[in-house]
Amino acid sequence: MIIGKNLSYSYSQTQMLQFPNLKVDAGQTLLISGDSGCGKTTLLHLLAGLRTPYKGEVLIDNEQLSEMSSAKLDQFRGEQIGVIFQQSFFIPSINVFDNLNLSPFGKKNRKIDEVTEKLGISELLNYYPNQLSQGQQQRCSIARALINNPKVVLADEPTSALDDKNCSMVAELLINAAKNQNAALIIVSHDYRLKKKIDQKIILKPIDTI
């Protein structure tokens, strides 16, 4: 379960983003949408502990991110939060298997075979990232986010670069995989194609300026 309570973020002294409270239980999904520039990605980064909120708190299974040391937060993110980006980022010099296995914590609880089989990418493990199509890359990104069996999966515009066919397939894979693993899934997107598949929805307002 992930909770975002009274979250706000300040880019500068004149710009303050204030976000609605949110709560996603294990196995549930939330879609955050809104116009470009309204702070969707910033909210996602706050939830992932990649940015520090101006005010408010993020709790994952009752553990507050802001109370963690920098080292503990890095470890917590690596083990308990899976993140998927709009662009599929990979280390180009290593193959898909090594990219999925990328972790400073060894191979504890990692389910590469199971996850890659479910996502239909078992045969791609020896390929290098530049040998994959966009759809394949995005499926590999999903696999990387799920391989640790995380409590929370955060996805930033995971389908915006995909055509309708790939969008539907990737969204379904992501949602089903997260549900199967009993992970809370938050998707940030303005992609209308996702709306029907998600449990909760939040629409962010434009930036509040002070």
d(CA 112, CA 126): 13
Q: Which of the ranges 21-29, 37-45, 162-170, 190-198 carries the binding residues for other proteins, by CB under 8 A? A: 37-45
Q: End-to-end CA distance of the chain, in Å? A: 32
DSSP state of 9: E
Question: Which is nearer to other proteins, 13 or 92 (by Cβ)?
Answer: 92
Q: Using CB under 8 A, which of 48, 125, 162, 198 touches other proteins?
A: 48
Q: Where do runs of H (alpha helix) occur along the chain? A: 40-47, 70-80, 96-100, 112-118, 134-146, 164-180
Asked if 27 contacts 184 with a C-beta cutoff of 8 angstroms, the reply is yes
Q: Which of the ranges 15-23, 43-51, 59-67, 169-177 carries the binding residues for other proteins, by CB under 8 A? A: 43-51
Applying the rule CB under 8 A, the residues between 72 and 131 that interact with other proteins are 74-75, 77-79, 83, 85-87, 89-94, 98, 101-105
On the CB side of 196, CA atoms within 13 Å amount to 4
Q: Using CB under 8 A, which of 16, 26, 50, 68 touches other proteins?
A: 50
Pairing of strands 152-156, 15-18: unpaired
Asked whether position 11 contacts other proteins by CB under 8 A, the answer is no
Q: Using CB under 8 A, which of 12, 14, 62, 71 touches other proteins?
A: 71
Q: Identify the burial level of 34 via C-beta atoms within 10 angstroms of its C-beta, where 0-12 means exposed, 13-18 middle and 19 or more buried.
A: middle
Binding mask 150-189 for other proteins (x = CB under 8 A): ------x---------------------------------
**What residues make contact with other proteins under the rule CB under 8 A?**
41-42, 45, 48, 50-51, 70-71, 74-75, 77-79, 83, 85-87, 89-94, 98, 101-105, 144, 156
